Amino acid sequence: MANLARLKDLVREFEEKYRGSELEPFIFVDEYIFGCKEPWPMVTTTHKGVYGIFSNNDLLYVGKVTGKTRVICHRMNDYFKIPEDFSYEGPKDNWSQEPTHFVAWGVPDDSFFEASSLEEFLIEKLKNELPDNTRK
């Protein structure tokens, strides 16, 4: 199964191979632990992007958000029961392992469409290591 180091390496590879050096870099959001009772990181409330959901060290899922009015934290609220106090009441659906945290990369506002490319790249590279990207 993939881990955070592998995910970071692949994002770095994507940035180096497929993005122009003059482009604004992706904004990394470090581990946000479910139930930490801390507000969402600022980037997740303002940017579209790509995220990885983990169970401890294991990467379970890679996803993206590019909708007109939706940002990264909206996707987390789609998957998990997170009350206004940022406590954690668990996942809304079944996962192969209990999700513990997520990381994310916010994409520049002017190139929100890069989230789709990055997600496709990551899923292709990790297709045999993402147990929950294949579930329906």
Helix (H, G, I), strand (E, B) or coil at 57: coil
Rg (CA), the chain: 14
Would the pLDDT of 135 be above 70? no
pLDDT for position 55: 97
pTM: 0.95
pLDDT of 136 higher than 70 = no
Handedness of CA 103, 4, 124, 12 (dihedral sign): positive
Q: What is the pLDDT of residue 84?
A: 93
Give the separation between CA 103 and CA 32, rounded to whole angstroms.
6
CA distance 24 to 13: 16
Q: What average pLDDT is seen over the chain? A: 94
pLDDT in tens, 24-77: 999 999 999 999 999 999 999 999 999 999 999 999 999 999 988 899 999 999
Per cent of the chain over pLDDT 90 is 89
Two tokens at 23? 């482009």
Per the model's pLDDT, the better-predicted residue between 56 and 110 turns out to be: 56
Q: What is the pLDDT of residue 21?
A: 83
